[in-house]
Amino acid sequence: MVAIHFLWILFMLVGFGLILAGMLFSKKILNWFWFRTLHLAGIVYVGALALQGKLCPLTIWENQLRAKVSPTSTYSGSFIIHYIEKLVYPDVNPVLLQVATVSLGVFTILAYILAPPFKLKGILKKSSS
């Protein structure tokens, strides 16, 4: 579960970087409609959860699974999982994470509007003709 959560966070962060690179350097970098749409939907969802002060469903699910195994579970897995958990659940003020998530969400929405994926551009051009 931690690995899935880590991959989701990686998708959000790497997707953000690739979209930014595409906007700044080359329109051909990561201009796939479905990738950008999934990224946008994901970041809007995560941002909405952050604004409401709610936990990510993956966090809730993981905590439920941990409680079934051992209510007082501590570091008992592999070395790699131990450090991935520190990346997924950093020991920082939750407000800082909320601000970062919402900022990432605002940028992603603006990027989708200002530099839409090619497929969306085609759809918009057809509808305005």
| Confidence check: pLDDT of 109 > 50 | yes
* Rounded CA separation 62/59 (Å): 5
Can you tell me which residue has the tokens 């520190």? 86
Please report the pLDDT score of residue 81 as a whole number: 57
Using CB atoms within 10 A of its CB, is residue 41 exposed (0-12), middle (13-18) or buried (19+)?
A: exposed
As a residue count, the chain comes to: 129
pLDDT in tens, 51-69: 888 878 887 887 778 778 7
Residues of the chain with pLDDT > 90: what percent? Answer: 5
* Rounded CA separation 33/112 (Å): 10
pTM metric for this prediction: 0.63
Q: Which of 17, 63, 15 is nearest to 40 (CA)?
A: 15
* Rounded CA separation 126/129 (Å): 5
